A and B are shown apart, each in its own frame.
Chain A
Amino acid sequence: MELTSPRFKANVRDALKKPNLKTAMGRLISTMGPRRLAARAGLPEFERLCDQARDIKNHTLANLDFYLEAYEAKLRASGGTLHWCRTPEEARATILDLCRQADARTVTKGKSMIAEEIGLNEFLEANGIEPVETDLGEYIIQIAGEAPSHIIAPAVHKTKEEIADLFFEKHQRYGLPKRSEPKDLVDDARKILRPRYIAADVGITGANFLIAETGSSVIVTNEGNGDLTQSLPKMHIVVASLEKLVPTLEDVTTILRVLARSATGQEFSTYTTFSTGPRRADDLDGPADYHVILLDNGRSRLLGTEFQDMLRCIRCGACMNNCPVYAAIGGHAYGSTYVGPMGAVLTPSLVGLADSHHLPNASSFCGRCEEVCPMRIPLPKLMRAYREQSFAAKLGPAPERWALAAWAFAAKRPRLYRLVSEAAARLLGNHGARRGAFRRLPLAGGWTGGRDLPAPEGRTFHSLWRERRRAGAA
């Protein structure tokens, strides 16, 4: 996808004008928050499991070189092939090469954020291979020509009416009538995708985890599309990245206990599938070839830095399901593959801060994302670290930097700070006393453009506090 994060502010303005988006995002927040809470309440050990899940990933990352090599040895022993790729370019070229070895004309795809990250679909199409998304949400946005707006619910920004119109437009050629209920739309997609699974030459899936103990890749789905994708074609290609490693089956099991509960509020997702090598000699089905693409794309450089914590992320989406900013603007406004609070941290790590410095600002720092993160990633702290970096690199607009510099100068000099803030409070208090609010204020157009600024009552907190202390002491 084209990175539009540099135009974040314009994206937000556009997003706020879309009434359907507001409806869809409102539904997300009011549905997913309670579902997660109910699942959490159903498992008394939930918070302790989250602590263990965090420790497992910390341990894995601290020994990532060991676990990568252990995984590689087991994968090779099971008959699979590992392809190390430093960049999206290397990953795309490797996948194309494999597809050509399989004489592939069409490939089916399970949902994979790494495939989105490397822009796989456009690349395959440009090289004469048709990629067919099989996850319902991914299928919807593929035929709409859009990017995912949520890491686990890619089409969550669309209403069922929009999907019904889209399906009618694209499915008429199959002779399907217009239908509008979710269950009928699901049924239509099922009918259309069935023959595609059977005809595909290669199946490409992502991986939620790679297991060092066994050399297995794991996918977690509800639809069963990923399983059809990886069972029916003669070649299965897994697209994964370095931080998907976990040591043992027991370790992945602990993380699975918190994944579905955090993501969809389910006790367990419908299908959790472990693929270990290609089909065995006497197997009656399964792919003859099994390849794993292992992408770095800047992740190795995050190790050992404060952003290493981000590599614990298991892509559950809880941070965006509970984020007031994401709920207001939707995923597309971020203009990047990864969206919401996790995207606001991961995007600068992957594409650099110069093109994405607005994203760490897309937060009110309310702290919900960190509170609901099952892997205990300190998202606000990491966004703050990027804000500091972008200030130091002079990436924001100059007036904003001057204002911040002036504020910092005063904040470090308490007497000056009190003098200025008391004068400002008095001035604004006097001028605003009649209406109680300002409609317009010099230098504050960004605020008053959308709402009134309440007028201070003429006193600062500091001076009221001093007065109260004096009165209390007397």
Chain B
Amino acid sequence: MSANARDAILAEVRKSLAGRRRANHSTDPSGDAPAARLEGHARNLIPDRTAGGRAANVALFIKMIEGVSGTVERVASASEVPKVVAGYLARHNLPPKLAMAPDSRLTSLPWAAQPLLEIRQGAARESDQVALTGTFAAVAETGTLMMASFADRPNTLNFLPDNHVVVVAVKDLVGTYEDAWDRLRAAGGLPRTTTFITGPSRTSDIELVPTLGAHGPRRLHVILIEDAG
């Protein structure tokens, strides 16, 4: 069925487009050749709001996350992360247990200083209440986290547990989504799953009332590391 259908659909598409192509000569209103467009993947119009430089983008990133009911905590260096995570769990009356991505940026942190924390590395399980992940890039434009599902960054951690704590290094903060795409291309292209996350899970399906915690995490907490290392 599929081979026949494929040929029939492509033939119908070409037949339908043929009239217009003869009339226009050019196949394309913008004059671009399609193969060159894919090869060049040029940027379109980029909004101005991220043009203010690094410090302004950090401020914008925080403002945008807070605007969608996420929370942000700033720390001076990565070594403070375990203590801050333990504090987050205590503050929300959560058991001292973490499902953590086996990401070397996280596993190399000084967890021994928090002996009460029980940490399991791997993909998420139904019983997990808190996930700790890094991020591939953070986008200032809308306070968005770009998660890439490499082998050390299982995607289910982003969605299954009720609480999602994300460690973001300021050096991974970019202005726009396009900047993040360039980084991902440089890292070898798209993994199985690439997710932009902007705030905790929400729905407006009942009387258009914005309600948090629909199916994904009820809380999204970002720990922003200021140092360059």
- Are A278 and B192 closer than 8 Å at their CB atoms? yes
Q: Is B17 an interface residue (CB 8 A)?
A: yes
Count residues of B near A (Cβ-Cβ below 8 Å): 83
Q: Is B202 an interface residue (CB 8 A)?
A: yes
* A224 and B205 in contact, given A45-B45, A85-B5, A249-B41 (Cβ under 8 angstroms): no
- Chain A residues whose C-beta falls within 8 Å of the C-beta of B41 in the assembled complex: 213, 247-250
Q: Of residues B27, B201, B217, which shows the largest number of chain A Cβ atoms within 10 Å of its Cβ?
A: B201
* Interface pick from B30-38, B71-79, B130-138: B30-38
Closest CB of chain B to A149's CB: distance in Å? 12
Look across to chain A and name the residue whose beta carbon is closest to the beta carbon of B35. Answer: A66
| Chain B contacts with A in 25-60, Cβ cutoff 8 A | 27-30, 32, 34-35, 37-38, 41-45, 47-49
Q: Is B198 an interface residue (CB 8 A)?
A: yes
Q: Is A31 an interface residue (CB 8 A)?
A: yes
Contact partner of A253 among B20, B160, B178, B205, CB < 8 A? B178
Look across to chain A and name the residue whose beta carbon is closest to the beta carbon of B154. Answer: A284
Per-residue interface assignment for chain A, residues 265 to 283, with 1 indicating a CB less than 8 Å from any chain B CB and 0 otherwise? 0111111111111111011
- Are B214 and A225 closer than 8 Å at their CB atoms? yes
Q: Of residues A45, A84, A251, A270, which shows the largest number of chain B Cβ atoms within 10 Å of its Cβ?
A: A270
- Are A284 and B151 closer than 8 Å at their CB atoms? yes
Q: Is B112 an interface residue (CB 8 A)?
A: no
Q: How far is it, in angstroms, between the C-alpha of A268 and the C-alpha of B146 when the chains are bound?
A: 13
* Interface pick from A134-142, A339-347, A387-395, A430-438: A134-142
- Chain A residues whose C-beta falls within 8 Å of the C-beta of B6 in the assembled complex: 84
- Are A182 and B209 closer than 8 Å at their CB atoms? yes
Closest CB of chain B to A64's CB: distance in Å? 5
- Are B193 and A286 closer than 8 Å at their CB atoms? yes
Q: How far is it, in angstroms, between the C-alpha of A59 and the C-alpha of B34 when the chains are bound?
A: 8
Q: How far is it, in angstroms, between the C-alpha of A34 and the C-alpha of B211 when the chains are bound?
A: 19
Q: Is B123 an interface residue (CB 8 A)?
A: yes
- Are A223 and B17 closer than 8 Å at their CB atoms? no
Contact partner of A183 among B156, B160, B211, CB < 8 A? B211
Q: Is B108 an interface residue (CB 8 A)?
A: no
Counting chain A residues whose Cβ lies within 8 A of the other chain, the interface size class is 35 or more
Q: Is B187 an interface residue (CB 8 A)?
A: no
Q: How far is it, in angstroms, between the C-alpha of A373 and the C-alpha of B194 when the chains are bound?
A: 28
- Are A187 and B13 closer than 8 Å at their CB atoms? no
- Chain A residues whose C-beta falls within 8 Å of the C-beta of B199 in the assembled complex: 270
* A232 and B206 in contact, given A59-B32, A276-B190, A300-B16 (Cβ under 8 angstroms): no
- Chain B residues whose C-beta falls within 8 Å of the C-beta of A140 in the assembled complex: 205-206
Q: How far is it, in angstroms, between the C-alpha of A100 and the C-alpha of B145 when the chains are bound?
A: 37
Closest CB of chain B to A184's CB: distance in Å? 10
- Are A222 and B12 closer than 8 Å at their CB atoms? no
Look across to chain A and name the residue whose beta carbon is closest to the beta carbon of B189. Answer: A214
- Chain A residues whose C-beta falls within 8 Å of the C-beta of B21 in the assembled complex: 62
- Are A231 and B16 closer than 8 Å at their CB atoms? no
Contact partner of B190 among A27, A64, A216, CB < 8 A? A216
Per-residue interface assignment for chain A, residues 14 to 29, with 1 indicating a CB less than 8 Å from any chain B CB and 0 otherwise? 0000000000100110
- Are B160 and A228 closer than 8 Å at their CB atoms? yes
23 A-B interface contacts by CB (under 8 A): A49-B44, A52-B45, A66-B35, A68-B10, A85-B5, A86-B9, A137-B205, A140-B206, A187-B213, A198-B126, A214-B189, A214-B190, A222-B204, A222-B214, A225-B214, A247-B41, A268-B142, A276-B193, A276-B194, A283-B149, A283-B191, A302-B16, A303-B16
The residues of B with any CB-CB pair to A shorter than 8 Å are 1-2, 5-6, 8-10, 12-14, 16-21, 27-30, 32, 34-35, 37-38, 41-45, 47-49, 64, 67-68, 102, 122-124, 126, 142, 144, 149-151, 154-156, 158-160, 177-178, 181, 189-209, 211-217
Sample of 17 further A-B pairs with CB below 8 A, known A222-B201, A248-B37, A282-B151: A52-B45, A59-B28, A62-B27, A62-B28, A86-B9, A94-B1, A153-B204, A153-B208, A154-B205, A182-B209, A227-B195, A247-B37, A250-B41, A285-B123, A286-B192, A296-B9, A301-B12
